């Protein structure tokens, strides 16, 4: 099935402003139904979750529907879906909880490909616990993180391995199942940053081998919140700090304070929006419709990425850093003789949004020789079309002096 991009774009009110958005990796645009779900929940009678009043029951329903929606998106058990302020917040909280089980002489493994939100929480927790941090390196010439780069660091003292499902800087998608097989040959748990992966490919957390999988709905056309998925059985073994009266049930014991019901309603709406774009129509369950829709998205985005990549490669002074065999529709590029921030500004003057930075993947940016400044990141979303691509390539040709 070919994605009807024109019909899809009509569902995004923000696109009426006329900008070409290549900033999806930092946060996607939002369809009408998501905004409506947020607004309706905010303006409906609502209370703390319960079973007595209508307002209490509405809150409970919103939470359970959101858990079910995210479970269908990720292929997990809804009883293991945790909501929080952001992926970063959830990861810090899980790092504090898990590090209590570590002892001096234990080890954790992080990678230089990752966003700092899947590095620093573990490194800081390890430092406090007197635990050794071991670093897995990726190949800067190919952008690949080989499974053995992680596997060679493992031992019977490894307690946690943190790795990305897709680099938010250069798009690399490591072979997670192969990495998971190596990790699970040790006592370690595998914590996967799925923030950049989830918007661009169907997710099956079990098939990926992740013990924990974290993602952010605002990257896949939803509202600003974070999600962490794990098996309920694993979560039962963990005991985070919590208020005395708050529930000790899983997953509630990991959710601090009152949940943002309006954002959870928007999250459910985002998953339903994705499922509604399935070539299966209304047949099949939501999980299968989500997977088929994500395949349509992936095909569309990959076609546009290849077109843009080819056009950029023909421009003078272009240096492309996104080179991995399997990757998301994300291109990191700089142009020799041109400051990336100045190129970004020139594109902005043409109403084309392409950010330039290291995007918190500071270790990866340094490995690539870009320091802390990074470069231009061109990130695609399902609503990007060929006209967007033409605008971008024409503008870059003009700016770089072709």
Query: Can you tell me the distance from the alpha carbon of 191 to that of 126, in angstroms, rounded to the nearest whole number?
Result: 15
DSSP 338: B
Selection from 90, 160, 92, 94 nearest residue 131 by Cα: 160
Beta strands in 216-368 (DSSP E): 226-230, 318-320, 330-335, 352-353, 356-357
Confidence of residue 282 (pLDDT cuts 50, 70, 90): confident
By CB atoms closer than 10 A (0-12, 13-18, 19+), residue 310 is exposed
Note the pLDDT tens digit of each residue in 191-243: 999 999 999 999 999 999 999 999 999 999 999 999 999 999 999 999 999 99
Distance separating the N- and C-terminal Cα atoms of the chain: 37
Phi/psi region, residue 364 (left: phi>0; alpha: psi -120 to 50; beta: rest), is alpha
Task: Find all residues with CB under 8 Å of 330, minimum gap 6, and list them.
Answer: 25, 166, 167, 168, 169, 170, 171, 196, 305, 322, 377, 378, 379, 380
| Residue 272 reports pLDDT greater than 70 | yes
For the CA atoms of 380, 169, 323, 296, what is the dihedral angle to 10 degrees?
Answer: -30
Strands 330-335 and 375-379: antiparallel
Looking at residue 335, its pLDDT comes to 98
Task: Find all residues with CB under 8 Å of 254, minimum gap 6, and list them.
Answer: 82, 84, 90, 93, 94, 228, 235, 238, 240
| Residue 402 reports pLDDT greater than 70 | no
Instruction: Name beta bridge partners: 20.
Output: 352
Which residue matches tokens 């700090």?
241
Region 99-113: mean pLDDT is: 97
Selection from 20, 24, 15, 14 nearest residue 359 by Cα: 24
Note the pLDDT tens digit of each residue in 316-346: 999 999 999 999 999 999 999 999 999 999 9
Note the pLDDT tens digit of each residue in 18-65: 999 999 999 999 999 999 999 999 999 999 999 999 999 999 999 999
Region 89-117: mean pLDDT is: 98
Work out the widest C-alpha separation in the chain, in whole angstroms.
68
Cα 122 from chain centroid? 18
Mean pLDDT of all residues belonging to the chain: 97
User: Which strand (E) or helix (H) includes residue 68?
Assistant: helix 54-74
156 φ, ψ (degrees, to nearest 5) = -75, 0
Confidence of residue 1 (pLDDT cuts 50, 70, 90): confident
Alpha carbon distances (Å) from 351 to 21, 22, 335, 346: 9, 11, 20, 9
- Domains of the chain and any CATH numbers: 5-30+294-400 (3.90.1150.10), 35-273 (3.40.640.10)
Structure-block tokens of residue 247:
């529930």
Query: Can you tell me the distance from the alpha carbon of 180 to that of 153, in angstroms, rounded to the nearest whole number?
Result: 13
Query: Can you tell me the distance from the alpha carbon of 225 to that of 172, in angstroms, rounded to the nearest whole number?
Result: 24
| Residue 148 reports pLDDT greater than 90 | yes
Note the pLDDT tens digit of each residue in 338-376: 999 999 999 999 999 999 999 999 999 999 999 999 999
Query: Can you tell me the distance from the alpha carbon of 117 to that of 191, in angstroms, rounded to the nearest whole number?
Result: 12
Looking at residue 264, its pLDDT comes to 98
Query: Can you tell me the distance from the alpha carbon of 246 to that of 265, in angstroms, rounded to the nearest whole number?
Result: 22
């Amino acid at each position: 099935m070919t994605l009807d991009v024109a019909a899809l774009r009509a569902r995004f009110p923000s696109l009426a402003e006329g900008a070409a958005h290549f900033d999806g990796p930092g946060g996607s645009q939002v369809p009408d139904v998501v905004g409506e779900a947020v607004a309706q929940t905010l303006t409906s009678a609502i209370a703390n979750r319960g079973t007595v009043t209508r307002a209490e029951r509405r809150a409970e329903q919103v939470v359970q529907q959101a858990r079910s929606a995210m479970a269908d998106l990720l292929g997990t058990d809804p009883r293991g879906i945790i909501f929080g302020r952001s992926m970063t917040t959830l990861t810090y909280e899980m790092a504090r909880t898990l590090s209590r089980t570590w002892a001096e002489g234990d080890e954790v493994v992080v990678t230089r490909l990752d966003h700092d939100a899947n590095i620093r929480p573990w490194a800081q927790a390890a430092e406090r616990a007197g635990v050794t941090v071991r670093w897995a390196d990726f190949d800067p010439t190919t952008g690949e993180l080989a499974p053995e780069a992680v596997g060679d660091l493992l031992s019977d003292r490894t307690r946690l391995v943190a790795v990305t499902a897709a680099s938010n800087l250069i798009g690399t998608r490591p072979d997670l199942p192969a990495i998971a097989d190596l990790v699970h040959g040790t006592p370690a748990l595998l914590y996967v940053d799925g923030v950049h992966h989830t918007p661009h490919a169907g997710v099956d957390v079990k098939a990926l081998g992740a013990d924990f999988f974290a993602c952010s709905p605002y990257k896949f056309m939803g509202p600003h919140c974070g999600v962490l998925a794990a098996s309920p059985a694993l979560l039962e073994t963990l005991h985070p700090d919590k208020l005395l009266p708050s529930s000790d049930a899983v997953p509630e014991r990991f959710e601090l304070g009152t949940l943002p019901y309006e954002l959870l309603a928007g999250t459910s709406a985002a998953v339903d929006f994705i499922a509604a774009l399935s070539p299966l129509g209304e047949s099949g369950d939501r999980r299968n419709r989500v997977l088929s829709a994500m395949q349509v998205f992936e095909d569309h985005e990959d076609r546009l990425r290849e077109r843009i990549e080819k056009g950029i490669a023909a421009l003078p002074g272009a240096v492309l850093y996104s080179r991995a065999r399997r990757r998301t529709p994300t291109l990191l590029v700089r142009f020799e003789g041109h400051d990336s921030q100045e190129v970004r500004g020139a594109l902005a003057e043409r109403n084309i949004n392409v950010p330039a930075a290291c995007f918190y993947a500071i270790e990866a940016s340094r490995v690539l020789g870009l320091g802390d400044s990074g470069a231009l990141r061109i990130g695609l979303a399902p609503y990007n079309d060929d006209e967007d691509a033409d605008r971008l390539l024409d503008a870059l040709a003009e700016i770089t002096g072709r």
